């Protein structure tokens, strides 16, 4: 009888050891409130802090490619050789509607020689048939992890090239509009096309955020462009927001 008790105790001890070993080998096993087992992934605290494993010091250089909306709407590429420096290229179409007043202002500057002198001409309307730009920028990145993980502030300088085609419509006028006693006869409208290419320096200031579950970075930035060729000294604020895939 005593021998049977000893054998039973020994069997129970072996079974308990087997269950404990199984729990060690399968640490992801758990139980729901009804007592049924289920699997749940266990993530260490160090890994949980990194949602998107990009922009790590050991991972440079990085590349990224995406889209930008605003002024301009463009394809955008950014290269990160190290933690602090980066180079970006944007190529796309400018937001022509934001330049409407300016294009109207320079109407008289683009009048063809055949229309200079003689009758008085009056601006009627214009249409932008092409308005492309390409710019390259070197920027310096500042990490703002203390404010929010994955947040960076950047600032830099670059150069922008612009190509624009304008189609102007005008009216002929006879007489002088400054003298009310003289009538003004508006003759049939004419039109001409002007192609302008220019370039100039650009400055940029922006924020970039990359704390996502995918290798993505989102950014928002403002820029200042200054014409250095056709209209020296002309300044214009630009900017937009976008997202890039980082690889």
- Within 8 A by CB and 6+ apart from 42, the residues are 27, 28
Residue 198: Cβ within 10 Å count? 18
pLDDT reading at 122 higher than 50 = yes
**Tens digits of residue pLDDT in 9-56:** 445 444 444 444 444 444 444 444 445 544 444 444 444 444 567 999
pLDDT > 90? residue 198: yes
State both tokens at 87. 């180079």
DSSP 57: G
Q: Report pTM.
A: 0.73
Task: State whether the Cα torsion 150-153-156-159 is positive or negative.
Answer: positive
CATH code for the domain defined by 54-246: 2.40.160.20
pLDDT tens-digit profile of 79-116? 999 999 999 999 999 999 999 999 999 998 998 887 77
**Cα gap 196→193, rounded to integer Å:** 10
What burial class does residue 223 get, using C-beta atoms within 10 Å of its C-beta: 0-12 exposed, 13-18 middle, 19+ buried?
buried
> Residue-wise over 28-65: b if at least 16 C-beta within 10 A, else e?
eeeeeeeeeeeeeeeeeeeeeeeebebbeeeeeebebe
């Amino acid at each position: 009888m005593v021998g049977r008790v000893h054998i039973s105790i020994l069997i129970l001890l072996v079974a308990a050891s087997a269950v404990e070993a199984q729990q060690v080998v399968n640490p992801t096993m758990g139980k729901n409130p009804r007592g049924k087992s289920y699997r749940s992934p266990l993530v260490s605290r160090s890994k949980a802090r990194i949602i998107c494993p990009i922009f790590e010091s050991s991972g440079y250089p990085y590349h990224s490619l995406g889209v930008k909306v605003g002024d301009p709407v463009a394809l955008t590429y950014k290269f990160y050789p190290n933690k602090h420096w980066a180079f970006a290229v944007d190529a796309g179409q400018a937001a022509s509607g934001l330049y409407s007043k300016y294009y109207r202002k320079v109407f008289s500057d683009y009048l063809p020689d055949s229309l200079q002198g003689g009758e008085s001409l009056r601006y009627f309307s214009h249409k932008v048939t092409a308005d492309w730009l390409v710019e390259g920028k070197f920027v310096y990145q500042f990490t703002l992890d203390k404010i929010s993980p994955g947040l960076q502030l950047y600032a830099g300088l670059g150069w922008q090239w612009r190509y624009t085609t304008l189609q102007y419509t005008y009216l002929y006028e006879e007489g002088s509009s400054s003298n009310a006693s003289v009538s003004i006869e508006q003759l049939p409208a004419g039109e001409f096309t002007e192609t302008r290419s220019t370039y100039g320096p650009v400055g940029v200031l922006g924020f970039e955020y990359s704390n996502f579950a995918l290798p993505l970075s989102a950014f928002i930035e403002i820029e200042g462009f200054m014409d250095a060729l056709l209209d020296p000294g002309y300044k214009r604020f630009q900017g937009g927001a976008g997202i890039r895939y980082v690889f």
